[in-house]
Structure formats: C-alpha cells, structure tokens
Amino acid sequence: VVFVGSNHNEHFGQWLNRCNPNDDPENALVYHEVRLEQLRRAKESLEFLDPLEWWFEKHLTDRRFQFIDHDSGMVVGKYDISNHGHIGANGSRGSAKQFTKFGGYYILGHSHTPGIYKNVIQVGTSSVLRLEYNDGPSSWLNSHAIIYPNGLASLIHIIDGRWRA
C-alpha cells in the first residue's frame, strides 16, 4: 500500500495545530501521544516525521506500506502515481487538465471525480458521496484505477456497492 502525499494527509497535522484536546476527549489520547513524540524529537534535535506516517508506523502491525511525497516520482508501468493532484505547476492548485501538459502519464486523485483526460487518469473517491461540504449536483463517484501488467490502465467504478470494469 502506498500513501501518496496529499492534502488529506496534511489534515492530520492541521488538526493537531488547531485541536483543543479538552474539547475533543474522544481523540485526546491521539493528540497527546503525537504531541509527546513531537516534544521528544525536538528535545533530542531529531527531525519530526509526518505525524500521520509516524502514527501508522507506531500502530499498524502490517508494515507493508510506504509513504511517498508528491516529488518522489513513483512510476508503476508508465503511470506516475506519486501525485495526488492537489499541487500543480509552481505550487499552484493542481488539476487533471494541467497535468495533461506536463508530458508523461499520471494517475491522480483529489477532485473525487473520475475521468480520463489524454495522458491523465483521475480516480474518484472512496468516501461516501455526500459530505457536509459538497452540496448541489455532484460528479463524485466511487472509482479507482487499475494498472494492468501490460501497462494499460482503466477506471473501475463502484456503483451501489458493486464494481464493473
């Protein structure tokens, strides 16, 4: 399992910075455990790892995962899978359309809307399709990409809990 650097991963660190554990007793132990590790590392002058990555390494027994950032350039077949899609050229907001201009092949997430745009495959989401912030008509779909051994890729849509190629 590969965790690609994304705005989703960054939300854990943002939560740590704005959370008051007294107001969130359900997650207070998580907050204090991560903050304690941050303090320990600061005292020992160690560089602090991404808090989400550290949490996973500490609490998951199955270690068959790795975290990569969007500058890693991880390629499977001919597809670069290291970009979530939230960061585009020169730090701008990313989009599938923008990635079509970079050359190469990409599989992106971020927009929660699946599609194929020239050399870019955009997956959907694994979340529920209605959240508190996506009011009105929605193009969101539970959809994933698969890269076949021959290097071709396709989208797999999940509709009503069932998938079809």
* 110-132 pLDDT tens trace: 999 999 999 999 999 998 898 88
Q: At what angle do helices 28-43 and 7-18 cross, to 10 degrees?
A: 90
What pLDDT does 46 receive? 77
**Pick from 67, 89, 111: which residue ends a domain?**
67
Going by pLDDT thresholds of 50, 70 and 90, the confidence category of residue 164 is low
pLDDT digits (tens, 9 = 90+) for 68-89: 887 888 999 999 999 999 998 9
CA 65 – CA 118 distance, rounded (Å): 30
| Closest to 142 in 3D by CA, of 155, 130, 157, 132 | 157
Do residues 76 and 99 both lie within one domain?
Answer: yes
**Judgement on whether residues 97 and 126 belong to the same structural domain of the protein:** yes
**Same domain? 35 vs 93:** no
Q: Chain-wide mean pLDDT for the chain?
A: 90
Both 155 and 84 in a single domain? yes
Task: Note the pTM of the prediction, 2 decimals.
Answer: 0.82
CA 103 to chain centre: 22
* Cα separation, 60 vs 82, whole angstroms: 22
What tens digit of pLDDT does each residue of 19-64 get?
999 999 999 999 999 999 988 888 888 777 788 888 988 988 887 8
- Report which DSSP code applies to 11: H
- Output the CA torsion sign for 88, 90, 91, 92: negative
What is the extent of the structural domain holding 23? Answer: 2-67
Residues 37 and 85 in one domain: no
**Is the predicted pLDDT of residue 99 greater than 60, yes or no?**
yes
Q: Is 165's pLDDT higher than 80?
A: no
Q: String of b and e for 92-108 (b: at least 16 CB within 10 Å)?
A: eebbbebbeeeeebbbb
